[in-house]
Amino acid sequence: MKWWNDLWLNEGFASYMEFKALQVVHPDWDVDTMFLMHSLQSVQNLDNKLSSHAIVQDVSHPDQITEIFDVISYNKGSSVIRMLEGMLGEEVFRIGVSAYLKRFAFNNAETDDLWAELQTATQNTVDVKKLMDTWTRQAGFPVVSAIRNGTKLTLKQQRFFSNPNTVSSNNSSPYNYKWEIPITYTTSINKTVHKFWLNKDVDSITIDIPDAEWIKLNHRQIGYYIINYSENDWCLLNKLLEKNFDVLSAADRSNLIHDAFSLANANYLPYGIALNMTKYLSLEHHYVPWDVAATNLNALRNNFYQRAAYKNLEKYVQKLLGNIKEDFWSDSTDRNFLQRRLQGVILNLGCLYGLPSYQTTVYKLFKRFLDDKVQPNPDIRYTVYYYGMSQGNSSEWDRLWKLFLNEQEPQEKIKLMVALTASKETSILTRLLQYAKNESYVRSQDYFIILSQISRNPIGAQLVWNFLRDEWQYLVNRFSLNDRAFGRLIPSVCSNFNTHERLEEMKIFFDKHPEAGAGKAGRKTALEVVSNNIKWLENHEAVISNWLINSI
C-alpha cells in the first residue's frame, strides 16, 4: 500500500486468504461457512452503526493510523473481497489477483490498482472500480427488501441501521448510501443459482421468477448485505427449516438466522419471526447455525439480566437442548472436526443456561481436573474450566490461580486465565483486578483480555466499570492513548449497558477525559450501542417476554 488509507489491501486480503488457504488444506471443514460467523456477520454488527466508517478513509494523524487497525479493515475488507470473488468467479479472480501481485511485487499499490488488474482479468466485461467503490468508499451496507407478488419479485435497497430512527445525511457519501448489489437466489423448484444486479441508480427493480413455494436470496451469504422478505416468505422459510432444513446449506441456514435477528433488533421484522427461526435447532447438526443462534440468544440474555424475561429465556434454551438426542458429553473418537465444534457450542450453551445435568457434569470434570490432574478433552476444556470455576469456591479459585501461574503452554494458559474470571464472588474478582496489574502474573498483551472477560461476568461488569474510571490515569500511563487494544476497552466493557444511568455515567467520564487517542471511534460506538440497548428494551422486552411464555 502507498499510504495508510489503503491498509485494508494488506489486512483485509490477508484475512480472507487465511480462509482460502485453510479450505485447500481442509476441504472437509466447510471453511466458507465458518467465514460467515467469524468475519462477515460479526462485522455487520458494528457496520450497522452511524459511527462506522468506510474501508478506505483519509488518514492524516498518527492516532488514526492505530485506530484503523479495526474490524472494518480486517473483517469487512475480507468480506467484500469474498463477495468480489463470488461476483467474478474463482478463476477470473485468481488470474486478476495473480497479475496484481506480480505487477506490484516489491512495490506499493493502491486500491484502484487491484481493481484495474481484476477488470483486465474480466476482459473489461465488468466495471470493477464502479462496483467496488460503493462498498469500500462509504460506510455501512444495505438491507434489500424482497417482495413477491405471484411470479414478480420487487427489490429495493436502503442503508441498514441497527437503530431505524438514526438520522444520517446522504451527502456524507459520494454514492448517497446506495450500492451496486450482486443479487443471487434459489427457489423450491430450481436449485440453480440465479444472478443479476441491483444498481445504485435505480429506486427498485422487478424481475420474473418461478411460481415457487419459497425463495432464498443471497446464496451462501456471498453478498455483504441483509435480505428482508415479506412476513409470509419469512414464515415459509421457517416452515422449511422445521420440516426439511437440509434443503438449504448450513451457510444459508445461518444466513437466515443472522438476517432475521438483525432485522428484528432494528424493528424491521416482528421479533417472534426471528425467534421462530430457532425452533428447529434441536435437529440442526452443523455448528455454524447453532453458533449464530447462540450469539443472538446470548444477546437477549445479556439484555434481560435481572429482568423478568431472563428465567423464561433460560427455560426456552433448556427446552431446545433437552430435545437433542446425542450425548455430547461422551468422548467419542468418531466425531469429525465440525461435530467436535458443535459439541463445544452445545455444552457451552447448556452450562450457560443452567441445564442441571450439564452443570453437574461440568463441575465433576472440573473437580477431577483439580484433584486428580486429569485434563478434560481439548474440545470441551474451555467449557469445563470456565463453568466449573463458576460453581467453585475460594479455595478452588486459589488452586486454579496457581495452575495459571505455573502453566507454560500459551493456549492452555489463556483458558485458565479466562476461567479465573468466572467466579461469582465479588471479593475474588476484585482481587483478580489487582493481581492482573502485576506483569509477572499477567502479560501486558493479555491484560485487556482479562478486563473484558471480567466485565462479561454479570457479577464483574460493575467492578470493571468502576475500576476503569478509578484507574484511568494508571491505564493511560501504562499503555498510552495510542494503544489500539486500550482503545477497544471501553466499547467492550460498556457493550451490555442498557440504562440511562449508565449512559449518563459514560458521558460524564468522557467529558472528564476528553482525550481518547485510538479510542475516539470506540467511544462513539459505545455511546451508540448503549443508546440502542436502552431503546431495544423499550421496543422489544414485552413482545419477547410474551413469545417466551408461549414457547416454553
The three-state (H, E, C) secondary structure of 217-275, written as one string:
ECHHHCCCCEEEECHHHHHHHHHHHHHHHHHCCHHHHHHHHHHHHHHHHCCCCCHHHHH
Mean pLDDT of 325-338: 87
Q: What is the pLDDT of residues 95-137, one digit of tens each?
A: 999 998 898 887 887 888 999 999 999 999 999 999 999 999 9
What is the pairing mode between strands 152-159 and 142-149?
Answer: antiparallel
Q: How confident is the model at residue 8 (pLDDT cuts 50, 70, 90)?
A: confident
| CA gap 178, 157 in Å, rounded | 7
Q: What is the pLDDT of residues 388-410, one digit of tens each?
A: 999 999 999 999 999 999 999 99
Domain 141-277 has CATH 2.60.40.1910: yes
| CA gap 401, 388 in Å, rounded | 14
The pLDDT of residue 12 is 85
Q: How confident is the model at residue 332 (pLDDT cuts 50, 70, 90)?
A: confident
Q: What is the pLDDT of residues 262-277, one digit of tens each?
A: 999 999 999 999 999 9
The pLDDT of residue 2 is 53
The pLDDT of residue 238 is 97
The pLDDT of residue 65 is 55
Torsion of CA 390, 394, 397, 403, to 10 degrees: -160
Mean pLDDT of 443-472: 95
The pLDDT of residue 108 is 82
| CA gap 432, 451 in Å, rounded | 9
Phi first, then psi: give them for residue 161, nearest 5 degrees.
Answer: -120, 145
Q: How confident is the model at residue 211 (pLDDT cuts 50, 70, 90)?
A: confident
Is the pLDDT score of 346 beyond 90? Answer: yes
pTM of the model: 0.90
User: Which of 276, 218, 225, 210 shows the shortest CA–CA distance to 248?
Assistant: 218
Q: What percent of the chain has pLDDT over 70?
A: 96
The pLDDT of residue 256 is 98
Cα angle 317, 493, 501 (rounded to 5 degrees) comes to 90
DSSP 3-state assignment of 90?
helix
Q: What is the pLDDT of residues 16-70, one digit of tens each?
A: 999 999 999 999 999 999 999 999 999 999 899 998 989 887 655 555 555 555 7
Mean pLDDT of 282-299: 97
The answer to whether the beta carbons of residues 250 and 288 sit under 8 Å apart is yes
| CA gap 35, 42 in Å, rounded | 10
Is the pLDDT score of 205 beyond 80? Answer: yes
Host H or E run for residue 527: helix 520-551
The pLDDT of residue 172 is 82
Domain ranges of the chain: 4-137, 141-277, 425-551
User: Which of 111, 102, 137, 100 shows the shortest CA–CA distance to 8?
Assistant: 111
The C-alpha cell of 166 is what?
438514526
The backbone region for 108, taken as left when phi is positive above 0, alpha when psi lies in -120 to 50, beta otherwise, is: beta
Same fold yes or no, 4-137 and 141-277: no
Is the pLDDT score of 223 beyond 60? Answer: yes
Host H or E run for residue 168: none
Q: What is the pLDDT of residues 495-523, one digit of tens each?
A: 999 999 999 999 999 999 999 988 888 99
CATH tag for 4-137 (out of 1.10.390.10, 3.30.420.130, 3.40.50.720, 1.10.287.1080) = 1.10.390.10
The C-alpha cell of 354 is what?
443452567
In this predicted structure, which of 143-147, 302-306, 379-383 has the lowest mean pLDDT?
Answer: 302-306
Torsion of CA 108, 113, 115, 121, to 10 degrees: -100
Q: How confident is the model at residue 170 (pLDDT cuts 50, 70, 90)?
A: low
Q: What is the pLDDT of residues 521-540, one digit of tens each?
A: 899 999 999 999 999 999 99
CATH tag for 425-551 (out of 1.20.1250.20, 3.30.413.10, 1.25.50.20, 3.40.50.300) = 1.25.50.20
Q: What percent of the chain has pLDDT over 90?
A: 82
The pLDDT of residue 500 is 96
The answer to whether the beta carbons of residues 405 and 425 sit under 8 Å apart is no
What is the pairing mode between strands 142-149 and 226-229?
Answer: parallel
Supply the mean pLDDT for the chain.
93
The pLDDT of residue 355 is 95
The neighbour count for residue 495, using CB atoms within 10 Å, is: 19
The pLDDT of residue 411 is 94
User: Which of 290, 260, 292 shows the shortest CA–CA distance to 273?
Assistant: 260
The answer to whether the beta carbons of residues 212 and 171 sit under 8 Å apart is no
Cα angle 254, 40, 221 (rounded to 5 degrees) comes to 50
